């Protein structure tokens, strides 16, 4: 089949990259705020650790919503078009993030404040749940299949850029005096999200629909439900995609969210040291993701993915030892090394999961496998880790065991999956 011109592919990669970075900026803002400030503003009547667990509980609501968003927008993406679904998800995430910045706190609205916070987090999760597969497929279904892992990995690279923006924004407002930061400073990053959303919408509205999807739809439109078709034809791949995501998703939010509360509450570290470490790790992640995506084009998706999972299993306990030194350089190194290991899974993931499903149901299938794992791993990882830490009296070894367990689930799933590097997406 004909391939899209390189200039067209580059525009689509750029639009998907920027749009994804903006959506992840919005989603990551909440995680950073949950670790550092929401326990004080929305759950001030309980002790600090319990307040943090409550904040992480509302944080998990976004992950619970993501599979619903994946199914909802996967349906429209497989029946109406990838582009229209992407525009809708970006608007939903951007507006809900802006609304969080306007919320009254517990002192002003009582119990209504955390209820509204949970509601907006759910809406935000719906949008993010439908975004990932659409952005990836707009790139994966174009261009030269020999470099699919590398080109699709640039959509994944939007995540560390979103993390950089979110952590950087919170780092700047954290420089304010504590009373000003809690009174109004924390709202600024959320309110700025609406400006970034406008930029993302401008870029996404200018790109064309996926030519592979348009051709299949023109040849024989399907009247069935994509969800039922995926579950009927690809149940095994949905389960394997979920398993492949468990360690990737869980470790990511462990390194970027849980370590913030662990460092400040258990180790007595300053917010700035931890936020700077996450910023440096995001830069390393941004470089490593395309590298491992390109490597998967050469040696295969499975070897690279397995390498990342096994490395993180081995690194779980050394991570806590490095953090326990309370020395800035070792803390930064721990977060950076962890995120590079994560990139070995995240880089090839976009192409790997896309290649598991046929064009007619690829949006729904990739979304379902990707997003069903979210509430089971990343959504509860900070909450579970905080609970384990509390039960152990601050000893991190149960958390290390939990991390190793997630890594082993992913190793098993990837071993049972088929190597997809040479798969023709038009089939």
Contact of 391 with 68, CB cutoff 8 Å: no
Q: Is the pLDDT of residue 36 over 80?
A: no
pLDDT for the residue 379: 78
* pLDDT tens column, 200-236: 888 888 887 778 777 777 776 565 788 888 888 899 9
Whether residue 240 is predicted with pLDDT greater than 50 in this model: the reply is yes
Cα end-to-end span (Å), the chain: 11
pTM of the model: 0.85
Share of the chain above pLDDT 70, in %: 95
pLDDT, tens digit, for every residue of 307-321?
Answer: 999 999 999 999 999
Nearest by Cα to 244 from 406, 131, 354 = 406
Lowest-confidence pick of 200-214, 249-263, 362-376, 382-396: 200-214
Read off the tokens for 136: 């990836």
Q: Are 218 and 343 in contact (CB under 8 A)?
A: no
Q: pLDDT at position 142, please?
A: 82
Mean pLDDT across the chain = 88
Quote the CA–CA distance of 60 and 64 in Å, as a whole number. 6
Question: What pLDDT was estimated at residue 315?
Answer: 97
Tokens 């598991």, residue? 356
Say which range, 135-139, 180-184, 216-220, 419-423, has the weakest mean pLDDT: 216-220
Instruction: Give the CATH fold of the 6-416 domain.
Output: Growth Hormone; Chain: A; (1.20.1250)
């Amino acid at each position: 089949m004909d391939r899209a011109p390189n200039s067209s592919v580059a525009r689509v990669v750029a639009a998907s990259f920027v749009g994804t970075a903006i959506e992840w900026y919005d989603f990551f803002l909440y995680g950073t705020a949950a670790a550092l400030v929401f326990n004080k503003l929305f759950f001030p009547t309980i002790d600090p650790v319990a307040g943090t667990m409550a904040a992480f509980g509302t944080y998990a609501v976004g992950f619970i919503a993501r599979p619903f968003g994946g199914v909802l927008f996967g349906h429209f993406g497989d029946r109406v078009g990838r582009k229209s679904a992407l525009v809708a998800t970006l608007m939903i995430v951007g507006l809900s993030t802006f609304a969080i910045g306007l919320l009254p706190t517990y002192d002003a609205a009582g119990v209504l404040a955390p209820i509204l916070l949970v509601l907006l987090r759910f809406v935000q999760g719906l949008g993010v749940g439908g975004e990932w597969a659409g952005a990836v497929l707009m790139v994966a279904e174009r261009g030269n299949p020999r470099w699919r892992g590398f080109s699709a990995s640039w959509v994944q690279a939007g995540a560390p850029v979103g993390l950089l923006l979110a952590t950087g924004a919170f780092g700047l407002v954290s420089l304010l005096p504590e009373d000003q930061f809690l009174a109004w400073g924390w709202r600024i990053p959320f309110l700025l999200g609406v400006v970034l959303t406008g930029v993302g919408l401008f870029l996404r509205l200018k790109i064309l629909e996926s030519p592979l999807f348009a051709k299949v739809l023109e040849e024989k439109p399907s009247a069935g439900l994509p969800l039922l078709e995926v579950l009927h034809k690809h149940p095994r791949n949905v389960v394997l995609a979920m398993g492949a995501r468990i360690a990737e998703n869980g470790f990511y939010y462990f390194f970027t969210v849980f370590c913030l509360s662990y460092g400040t509450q258990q180790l007595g570290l300053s917010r700035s040291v931890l936020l700077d470490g996450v910023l440096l790790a995001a830069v390393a992640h941004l470089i490593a993701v395309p590298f491992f995506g390109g490597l998967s084009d050469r040696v295969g998706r499975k070897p690279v993915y397995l390498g990342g999972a096994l490395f993180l299993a081995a690194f779980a306990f050394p991570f806590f030892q490095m953090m326990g030194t309370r020395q800035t350089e070792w803390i930064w190194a721990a977060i950076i090394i962890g995120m590079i290991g994560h990139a070995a899974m995240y880089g090839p993931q976009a192409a790997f999961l896309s290649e598991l499903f046929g064009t007619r149901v690829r949006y729904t299938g990739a979304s379902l496998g990707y997003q069903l794992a979210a509430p089971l791993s990343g959504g509860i990882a900070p909450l579970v880790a905080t609970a384990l830490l509390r039960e152990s009296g601050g000893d991190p070894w149960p958390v290390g065991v939990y991390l190793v367990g997630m890594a082993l689930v992913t190793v098993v799933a990837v071993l049972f999956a088929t190597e997809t590097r040479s798969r023709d997406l038009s089939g």
